[in-house]
Structure 1
Amino acid sequence: MSLLNVSNGVGESWPNVKSEYIHAFDFEVFDIPRSRLLLTEYRPWAITTCVLYVSLIYAGQLWMKSRPAYNLRSTLVIWNGLLAIFSITGLFRTFPEFFFIVSRPDGLYKSACTSDIHNYATAFWALIFTLSKLVELGDTAFVILRKQKLIFLHWYHHITVLLMTWIYYETYEPCFRWFGTMNYFVHALMYTYFTLKAMKVRVPRSLAMCVTVLQIAQMIVGLYINVYTYNIKSSGVPCDRPMGNIVGGLSIYGTYFLLFIHFFVKAYFVGPKSKTN
């Protein structure tokens, strides 16, 4: 498959996808413009999925109200284990581009505002990352079927991440280098931790706290990148990010930051230790 010029959706063209720092496997070389058009076409389907997801939450809680909790330990080990492996793989395939560009002169600007030195491997794992947010909705099924407490942060985060990443892929956000790579890293640790817990491996409480701290740090970096690109766009310097994505990103990352701070304080300093999820 020949290298592609990819439209960024605002009338300009992205540089050719290159392979200077990582080899893209054959399965990672795909029709990027076509994939973006498909996600744009199926955006209403993604929104409908979110509405159905919320409806199933309430229906599931009602259905489980008079039933005993399911154990599902073996299934949970497999589920979290597969997501951990997926996240680790995604991290190894996206980090090379992130590091290569950020370590160059003007790396912050190039990584956040341009697709310079872009690679098919990163593009492929950005697409899979977006679609994986549909799969991760399944996390909630385990919470409901095991009759655990479902907090607002859990389902709000699932919905907004799905919609945000979906729209970001449609517009082919260069900031995926930051947002996606960070999320792969945090999820690699988080799902590994969940897998060990499901296997009844004794895990230090400090590790759970570390995962939450990393999630908060992820939100801080997300806020910073959005503020940075907002200032770049406002100053008239070219930046391949739609202003609507920047404003939406600021709003969503802002709410994540507040909600994760609240969860952190309640889980580790206010709530009973035995109840920490």
Structure 2
Amino acid sequence: MAMSNVIANIPLKCIGENGMGTKYAEFSCIFPTLGKTYMPFEKYYDPVSVLKYMQESPMIPIWACIIYVVGIMAGRAYFSKRDPLSWRRVLAAWNFGLSLFSWIGAFRTAPQLYYNLTTYTLRDNLCDDPAALYGSGSTGLWVQLFVLSKFPELFDTLFIVVHKKPLIFLHWYHHITVLLYCWHSYATTSPSGFSSSS
């Protein structure tokens, strides 16, 4: 089923157009019962300005990862001769915030993923323009926020360092590779990025 045929079967009021001229079906409009839970700023969100900035700034995630690794080494050296801090409440608040963000993001993107997998062919899901499939409008907002959330998530390691807990290779390797993968797949508009990150 071609994307144009799917959009042709959607009410005109539910068709949005992003800043690149790509038409998409706004998920919150297609399913009005779910749509009642969406805030006005989510509906018909245009991700193009942030996407273009990310495409023009490929060094940002690389520099972030370099600063992250240097920060880990400097922090571990600093705390090697000092007592650990006790930031348990701050850590609990931080983890609650990340957990809440993840639940909201899952609630916003999982229905779109299910819709795409049951409406479009495998070829459509893996090869069509992600701006039309899921990258614009309400789902596009939460996909973009998910990608950008990889930067604040680097601060997870701060709590390990200041509490002088063991820092395993998998922890910091995961943070670096996920940030780089998410930025790259988003900036290059990889259609399969949605299903692998959700």
So what's the TM-score if we normalise by structure 1? 0.57
Question: After superposition, where does 1:103-122 map in structure 2 within 5 Å?
Answer: 103-104=118-119, 106=121, 108-114=122-128, 115=130, 117-118=133-134, 120-122=137-139
1:153 Cα deviation after fit = 1.0
One-letter amino acid of the counterpart of residue 196, structure 2: F
So what's the TM-score if we normalise by structure 2? 0.78
Aligned residue in 2 for 1:131: 148
The alignment of Structure 1 onto Structure 2 pairs a total of residues equal to: 174
One-letter amino acid of the counterpart of residue 16, structure 2: L
* CA separation of 1:146 and 1:42: change in aligned 2, threshold 3 A: same
Query: RMSD across aligned C-alpha pairs, in angstroms?
Result: 2.2
Structure 1 runs of 4+ with >6 Å offset: none
Aligned residue in 1 for 2:6: none
Aligned residue in 1 for 2:5: none
* CA separation of 1:117 and 1:127: change in aligned 2, threshold 3 A: closer
1:145 Cα deviation after fit = 0.6
Q: Contact (CA 8 Å) 1:112, 1:174: kept in 2 or not?
A: yes
1:130 Cα deviation after fit = 1.0
One-letter amino acid of the counterpart of residue 78, structure 1: A
Question: After superposition, where does 1:3-82 map in structure 2 within 5 Å?
Answer: 3-4=16-17, 14-19=22-27, 20-21=30-31, 23=35, 25-28=39-42, 29-82=44-97
**For 2:194 and 2:39, how far apart are their aligned partners in 1?**
19
**Does residue 165 of structure 1 match 2:165?**
no
Percent of aligned pairs with the same amino acid: 33
One-letter amino acid of the counterpart of residue 112, structure 1: L
Q: Contact (CA 8 Å) 1:6, 1:15: kept in 2 or not?
A: no
Unaligned runs of at least 5 residues, structure 2: 1-14
Unaligned runs of at least 5 residues, structure 1: 8-12, 182-277
